Structure 1
Amino acid sequence: MPIRPENRFFYPIDWKELSYVIRFGRAKGCCEGCGRPHGQLVAHLGDGRWWDVQANVWRSGKGRRLKLAPLACLPAETAVQLTRVYLACAHLDHDPGNNEPANLKALCQRCHILHDREEHRRQRWFTYRRRKVTGDLFLGPYPFRF
């Protein structure tokens, strides 16, 4: 996920190199949350379960092996989706100024969005309130809906 321009100054100058070392040096190109490989198309069921091609097994959203039928044996009505995996370097304490290696983790897009869930909810709440205020100032009453 790109860094917002207003938050750019929180990150060190060598952030790209630091992120690369965490994602491909320490994590070896796999998500540290679920084990999905970077850059690969991964078959998944939409609820976190995904097909590990190298081990030929289904894995949970936490990377644990599951006892499910192989990918080719699934019923036709099962909705299998394909997603390309991209790793990002996440701050565990949500503080972009804390760049200690112990505070950084290589996460795929699914694990990263789950890790930042509360921050996204807070930002959503703030955006709705800002829209309501802007509507009241310039347009008159603004209908407030969720």
Structure 2
Amino acid sequence: MPIRPEHRHFYPIDWPQLSAVIRFGRAEGRCEACGRPHGELIVCLDGGTWYDREAGGWRSGRGRLLRREPKLAALATARLTVPILATCHREHDTSRNTDRDLAAWCQRCHLIHDHPEHLRRRRLTYLRRKALGDLFQGAYPAP
């Protein structure tokens, strides 16, 4: 995921090289959470199930091989996607850039991991907007 310009100063100057080492050196071009390959066209079903060509079988959203193939009705909702790996901070702390604090995740796994953080930030944004409205426009009218 691209780094916002206002957050750029939180990352080390060698972030592109560090990110490449994590994604393609340590993770070998696969998501560390679900195993999706970087930049390859894959077939995905609802719920995160996807077809792994190398293994010759279907994997769950967590990357485990399925014992049974999905039902034919589920295959009707199949879509093609190209996962892109990103280097992510496990604890959302951009000052910690050790091997243990970074992970190579696809977009899906990154969004799943960041969901609680996104909810927290959304709440703060709403509260900030409301406070600014109170500050400059007075109290909101009662409904």
- Whether 1:83 and 2:85 are equivalent positions in the alignment is no
Q: Cα distance 1:25–1:134, how it changes in 2: closer, same or farther (>3 A)? A: same
How much does 1:98 deviate? 0.5
Larger deviation, residues 124-133 vs 17-26: 124-133
* TM-score normalised by the chain length of structure 2: 0.87
How much does 1:55 deviate? 1.4
Larger deviation, residues 11-20 vs 129-138: 129-138
- Whether 1:18 and 2:18 are equivalent positions in the alignment is yes
Partner residue of 1:60?
60
| Inter-partner Cα distance in structure 2 for 1:49 and 1:77 | 10
1:109 to 107, 110, 113: 107
| Inter-partner Cα distance in structure 1 for 2:5 and 2:114 | 19
Q: Cα distance 1:82–1:139, how it changes in 2: closer, same or farther (>3 A)? A: farther
Structure 2: gaps spanning 5 or more residues: none
Which digits, 9 at most, give the CA deviation of each residue in 1:14-48, with x for residues without a partner? 00000000000111100000000000122111312
Larger deviation, residues 130-139 vs 82-91: 130-139
Q: Which amino acid aligns with 1:58?
A: W
Contact 1:43 1:51 in 2 (8 A): yes
Local SS of the residue matching 2:103: strand
Number of positions where the alignment pairs a residue of Structure 1 with one of Structure 2: 142
Q: Cα distance 1:74–1:142, how it changes in 2: closer, same or farther (>3 A)? A: farther
Local SS of the residue matching 1:58: strand
Higher helix share: 2
| Inter-partner Cα distance in structure 1 for 2:137 and 2:116 | 31
Same amino acid, percent of matched pairs: 55
Q: Cα distance 1:55–1:9, how it changes in 2: closer, same or farther (>3 A)? A: same
How much does 1:131 deviate? 2.8
- Whether 1:93 and 2:91 are equivalent positions in the alignment is yes
How much does 1:66 deviate? 0.5
Contact 1:135 1:142 in 2 (8 A): no
Q: Cα distance 1:130–1:51, how it changes in 2: closer, same or farther (>3 A)? A: same
Q: Cα distance 1:5–1:104, how it changes in 2: closer, same or farther (>3 A)? A: same
Contact 2:35 2:63 in 1 (8 A): yes
